[in-house]
Amino acid sequence: MSKREIIDYILEINRGAKPEFLAQFPEKELDLYLEHLMEIDIEDIALCA
């Protein structure tokens, strides 16, 4: 996945994030952050069920 794609996915989950801010980080750190956001999102869905 490209850096732009990672940022796009992050923005879908964290709507308050700014693309300009995220672009400052290396791709690896963005990927780790996306994984973290996805874990939280899945936990939220499980709690609502």
| pTM to 2 decimal places | 0.81
d(CA 39, CA 25): 20
Over residues 16-43, the mean pLDDT reads 93
The sign of the CA dihedral 8, 40, 43, 39 is positive
Average pLDDT over residues 27-41: 93
The yes-or-no verdict on residue 43 having pLDDT over 90 is no
Whether 12 has a pLDDT exceeding 80, the answer reads yes
pLDDT at 1: 92
Distances (CA, A) of 6 to 13, 22, 47, 49: 11, 10, 26, 28
Can you list the alpha helix ranges (DSSP code H) found in 1-49? 3-13, 19-22, 27-48
